[in-house]
A and B are shown apart, each in its own frame.
Chain A
């Protein structure tokens, strides 16, 4: 099923999170959150194990609360399709520090590899652009990924959206912590907020 020349998801995410400094990364339900764990655990990794369709809105709430911190949402095509309206909500708020990166393998990898709408019909870059996210790009090469990385740290030029075509092969799961309260409080602590 895998096509040639598609990018390796782990290499893409490792590149996005390299030298991340204070960046907060939200990982959408499924393989994306595992990819973040594979790149190395971090106090500012917001791992999601559920809440499908909510990753972009979590990124939006965080980006608005912390305008001086770069926030990147890394999610899959299925998770993004479920929360497509949230791109319109981002387009209304236009937080300069928010980036959304979709790892698009055109399928629901966690549930048996069933095809998703991006395989034949849905153009997520077109959707993002039409929702008012002017910097919306389709990425098919590692050079384009590398060119995106410094932009993620630019707090003024967002929001931005990138759809990265990746290989659909199932790879080893690297599981991060599943304790939601721990995950959220660890991020809060790293941002300087004391426990209740």
Chain B
């Protein structure tokens, strides 16, 4: 996970609210997540929501299985996780083509921009390739100004076109954490 600092830029940034508004517009009802500092403001919005249920997971693959159950029951999900969590999902991603799920995930990136913790680098370096090998289309928001439109396009593609989609939020946009000088 990615430690939160309350002074970090995303606590005052508008893009988490913009993501929340997009999810609301697409009638997303279940939001499974493993926490990440980059997602903390969005998670707070979801947990305070009347229409969405935030569902904390013990590991990210639980979220993929949850998407399958929710879809069978008529509800849309958005899975929130960090790049390291993508590796935990690999076998469970099999369910997406097998059930033809409208899978949508938003991933905060680590290990790619000013990272101080090299333990984040191996998985951060392979996140996009893992998704693509698993048949999931990847879109990326590089900066705060493009978050809303990338998430909106990704959600439309996932939910309306039933095309499994991951939106990566660049570490550059979230801000690298530095615990050492």
Contact = CB atoms under 8 A, between A and B. Distances in A.
Contacts of B24: none
Contacts, number: 119
A113 interface: no
A85 interface: yes
A62 B71 CA distance: 8
B98 A93 contact: no
B69 A85 contact: no
A94 to B, nearest CB: 12
A175 interface: no
Contact of A180 (B56, B63, B99): B99
A51 B95 CA distance: 7
Interface on chain A toward B: helix, strand, loop, or mixed SS?
helix
Contacts of A187: 72-73
B96 to A, nearest CB: 10
Contacts of B59: 85
A134 interface: no
A84 B94 CA distance: 20
Interface string B55-67: 1111101111111
Interface of B: 29-30, 53, 55-59, 61-75, 77, 91-92, 94-95, 98-100, 162
20 contacts: A46-B69, A51-B91, A51-B92, A53-B61, A57-B65, A60-B69, A61-B30, A62-B69, A62-B72, A63-B73, A65-B30, A65-B74, A85-B58, A86-B65, A89-B62, A180-B98, A181-B99, A184-B100, A188-B71, A192-B74
